Amino acid sequence: MSQPRTKPPAAGERPAELASLVAELEPMLQRLRLTGMCEQLDNLLDDAARHQMTLREALAWLCAAEVSRKDRSRFEMAMRMARFPCVRTLEGFEFEAQPSIDPGVIRELASCRWIANGDNLVLLGPPGVGKTHLEVALGREAIRLGHSVLFCTAAELIANLTRAQQQGDLARALSTYGKPKLLIIDELGYLPLEHQAAYLFFQLISRRYEQGSVLISSNRAVTEWGEVFGDQVVATAILDRLLHHSQVLTIRGDSYRLKEKRRSGLIRPVAGSSLAGGGVVPPPPPAKEV
Ligand code: ADP
Ligand code: MG
């Protein structure tokens, strides 16, 4: 470790090495990893001079720039680590298009108190009603509030756990999925699981039980999860842990994607919809040119 370069000056005396220290200001800021201060140094010092800041105010001004830069890069890094499949925000969610969702409930979820408490959230609904959108948007809020998040689809999760088990590396894989404060598992139920896969899923849910939150979405009602897991006993054990401290939101209605197409007149609307999804009548075939 290098020796300190300056001795504290005696009272009233100007430090002798001030000029060389100023010349080294930027390398020192870099060495201290104060990147925000370093990058904006001239602007920040100009601001301080223009507003006639005291030394304490100027120091606070510089530190605020550094804190904001560090927060931004922490956010960007956590967003990359979360592996979201797309960019979606709560601001971009049209609540008018989805009357079965109470905006107050989503606002409360966005406060992430449930994540701080290690509770779970289950989003149910047919395809296209905004489950993935809400998962990504809530995950983003969680990261903004300092929680670690990992997003995966159920198929990806099961494939990774199965591969890890075959390679004798299950403990590490379970720890990867066990660590984040919020694990988002998208699209449970599109494919039924083999018994061994269901048991791996159970191991993961048990591991996270009362440790970290799980946000899980499915197109199948909870009563059908016995079929999804191919085993009622394993399904009950999973649901028992998952639902113990949890909130279940069921989204009803038609697919947003199809609504958009309907707005543009590409398909005709049909009455009635359920968790299994509203029916869709395809447009009549275009008239043949003769
Ligand atoms: P699901 O996961 O339920 O199948 P998605 O979240 O993938 O549905 O939604 C399908 C598409 O429609 C996405 O691009 C999503 O952003 C958009 N979408 C769904 N619901 C809404 C909504 N209420 N407001 C804005 N966009 C929406
Ligand atoms: Mg989806």
* Per-residue pLDDT band at 265 (split at 50, 70, 90): low
The matching CATH number, chosen from 3.40.50.300, 3.40.1280.10, 3.40.30.10, 3.50.50.60, for 82-250 is 3.40.50.300
**Residue 282 φ then ψ, to 5°:** -65, 155
DSSP 99-159: TTS-HHHHHHHHTTHHHHTT-EEEEE--TTSSHHHHHHHHHHHHHHTT--EEEEEHHHHHH
Question: CB count, 10 Å around CB of 130?
Answer: 23
Please name which ligand lies nearest the alpha carbon of 93.
1
Encoding tokens for residue 278? 């509203």
pLDDT of residue 280: 36
Question: What amino acid is encoded at 6 in this protein?
Answer: T
Residues in the 5 Å CB sphere of ion ligand 2? 131-132
Query: Which ligand 1 atom is nearest residue 260's CA?
Result: 12
CA of residue 277 to ligand 2 center, whole Å? 13
Query: Which ligand 1 atom is nearest residue 136's CA?
Result: 6
Please name which ligand lies nearest the alpha carbon of 86.
1
pLDDT digits (tens, 9 = 90+) for 117-167: 999 999 999 999 999 999 999 999 999 999 999 999 999 999 999 999 999
Cβ-Cβ contacts under 8 Å for 119 (sequence gap 6 or more): 213, 245, 246, 247
Residue-range domain boundaries for the chain: 23-72, 82-250
pLDDT digits (tens, 9 = 90+) for 12-64: 778 878 889 999 999 999 999 999 999 999 999 999 999 999 999 999 999 99
* Per-residue pLDDT band at 277 (split at 50, 70, 90): very low
Residues with CB under 6 A from ligand 1: 88, 92-94, 97-98, 125, 127-133, 256-257
Cα–Cα dist 18/16, whole Å = 6
